[in-house]
Amino acid sequence: MIDFPIGAATSLAELARDPHPRLARLRAREPVSWLPELDGWLVTRRDLALSVMRDSETYTVDDPRFSTAQVVGPSMLSLDGAEHARHREPFAAPFRPRAVREGFASFIERETDRLVTALEPDGACELRRAFAGPLAVAVVTEALGLVGATTDTVLSWYDTIVRSVSEITAGLAAAPEGVAAYSELRAAVEATVADRGAASLLVSAAGRLPVPEVASNAAVMMFGGIETVEAMITNAVLHLLADPEQLALVRGDLELLDGVVEESLRLEPGAAVVDRYATRDTVLGTAGIRRGDLVTVSLAGANRDPETFPDPDRFDVRRANARLQLAFAHGPHHCIAAHLARLETRIALQRLLERLPGLRLDPARPAAPYGLVFRKPPTLHVLWDGRG
């Protein structure tokens, strides 16, 4: 479109590789822009992003094009209104703040210590898959009460389903492996639910939802939980270790770890975008949006809006308003397990800093976040000092 030259020149490859300079230009000059490669609108300004996510009557997830629903079927992620509430509420109770602290802190500490103990003698590892991924899988499996699936199996399902969702978002046909992986997950959920005597969130939810709906919601919670936490831990370690000044501040005061978590989420949300579909003709900013149009909210763009976050590209663990970041989305679809994800990441960072002396990035293997939808380093190689 003539009115959106920056959007017309924006490629999905650029947004996957290094989105932030382009997002800054869009936010300043075309905060709601038409991207031909996306075949939709991209919203990059924070106030406009909030207005979209708050208004589920005008901007809905309930559309046949919604990528996750194409892989796992309808769930709390892809429904709005009363149906959304019906799917979400049976899963909500364990993820409220007090319940998270009381129900999960000791388990997370044990799992974190177990993983660090296994790594400790080596002096080096690829942190994403040796630590962040397994921790995320263990916690979300514990939270849901899923039985009979190993960490490697769940990670395999997760990789395949996330790849399928990403392919659909990029306008490609999803590979059949995504459907096959979800079928295996659904079978594991059905086996868990069949044991009605088990103390499991899945069993509890099955008292209020049909089993296929339990499975679809378990899938989005499981893979949201794995994706969010794996990305949160990996990105936070990268941000912190890449900034010696901020790292020194944190080593001197571990109370700053909460700031590390929020500021890392702000700079690089694990999910860079969320999709909505216009239910009617409307105006957003100065853009005329038509009924049925795809409206993609760039959480990555909103999180670096200088109107809210001065010097937005700087990693500042003492930033006073970092918690205003939108990495967990906003409105009815705010991440149900955000408190759990924060707790996991904080405990993980503290244990890594306390137990792996001289923790640092491997200079021979540089890392950077990558991804159009889900952003984190494909690998994060770190070193630390041995015991001797």
Question: For each of the chain's 388 residues, which pLDDT tens digit applies?
Answer: 568 999 999 999 999 999 999 999 999 999 999 999 999 999 999 999 999 999 999 999 999 888 888 888 899 999 999 999 999 999 999 999 999 999 999 999 999 999 999 999 999 999 999 999 999 999 999 999 988 888 888 888 888 887 887 788 777 877 788 889 989 998 999 889 887 666 789 999 998 999 999 999 998 998 889 988 999 999 999 999 999 999 999 999 999 999 999 999 999 999 999 999 999 999 999 999 999 999 999 999 999 999 999 999 999 999 999 999 999 999 999 999 999 999 999 999 999 999 999 999 999 999 999 999 889 999 999 999 975 4
The pLDDT value given to residue 71: 84
By CB atoms closer than 10 A (0-12, 13-18, 19+), residue 170 is: middle
CA distance 241 to 255: 17
DSSP assignment of 149-186 equals --HHHHHHHHHHHHHHHHHHHTTPPPPHHHHHHHHHHH
Q: Map 324-370 to HEC letters.
A: HCCCCCCHHHCCCCHHHHHHHHHHHHHHHHHHCCCCEECCCCCCCCE
CA of residue 145 relative to chain centroid, distance: 21
Q: Which amino acid is at 369?
A: P
Distance of alpha carbon 269 from alpha carbon 284, whole angstroms: 23
Q: How far apart are CA 157 and CA 178, in angstroms?
A: 8
Q: pTM of the predicted model, to two decimals?
A: 0.94
Task: Check if the beta carbon of residue 380 is closer than 8 Å to that of residue 128.
Answer: yes
Q: Which residue ranges form the domains of the chain, and what is each CATH number? A: 5-383 (1.10.630.10)
- What is the pLDDT at residue 2? 64
The sign one gets for the Cα dihedral 366, 274, 326, 28 is: positive
CA distance 148 to 192: 8
Does residue 262 sit in helix, strand or coil? helix
User: What letter would DSSP give residue 301?
Assistant: H
pLDDT at site 126: 98
Strand partners, 289: 282
pLDDT at position 179? 84
Strand, coil or helix: what is 214? helix
